[in-house]
Amino acid sequence: MAGMDVLVALAGVLLALISQKPLHRIEEGSVGVYWRGGRLLNMTSAPGYHLQWPILTKHANVQGRIRRRLVHLVLTFLRFEKLWIEDVTYHEINVLCSKYTLHQVYISHFDQLDELLQARMSALLAQWAPGLEI
């Protein structure tokens, strides 16, 4: 009977260990970090399936992807004056063309459009970007 009690106790311990999921999965693009007894361990694991000590060790998926958006923002910042001038130029052309009819834009005031655009752009640059000139 004592042997049966030991066998039942071992089965209970084994069942408790299995119920704590010793097999875990680290997602693609992440690394696994581990805590044992509340202390962060120095080891990490690659994506895939891994084993851990069920009750003692906890794990977490930490995303490790590099985001390219930051690089894009830096490139935009380096060419800021060019982008700003192009955007404002398109806007000012739209404003000038919306004030006049098609006949006025292409025939009557066509020779004056560049002076009007230059005057408007110079006024905007004096206000928003004092070092730039047209």
Q: Say what the pLDDT of residue 80 is.
A: 57
pTM of the model: 0.37
Amino acid 123: pLDDT:
85
Report whether 27 contacts 47 (CB < 8 A). yes
25: CB partners within 8 A, 6+ apart: 48, 49, 50
* Range 74-79 contact pairs with CB under 8 angstroms and sequence separation of 24 or more: none
- Kindly list the domain boundaries of the chain, sorted by start residue: 21-65, 79-128
Residue with tokens 């704590």: 20
d(CA 52, CA 6): 25
Helices (H) and strands (E) in the chain, counts: 5, 5
pLDDT in tens, 39-83: 988 988 889 888 887 778 888 888 876 655 555 555 555 555 566
Q: Please report which helix (H) or strand (E) contains residue 24, including its range.
A: strand 23-26
pLDDT for residue 66: 60
Indicate if the pLDDT at residue 22 is higher than 80: no
Residue 63 · residue 50 · CB < 8 Å: no
Name the average pLDDT for the chain. 78
Q: How far apart are CA 106 and CA 46, in angstroms?
A: 65
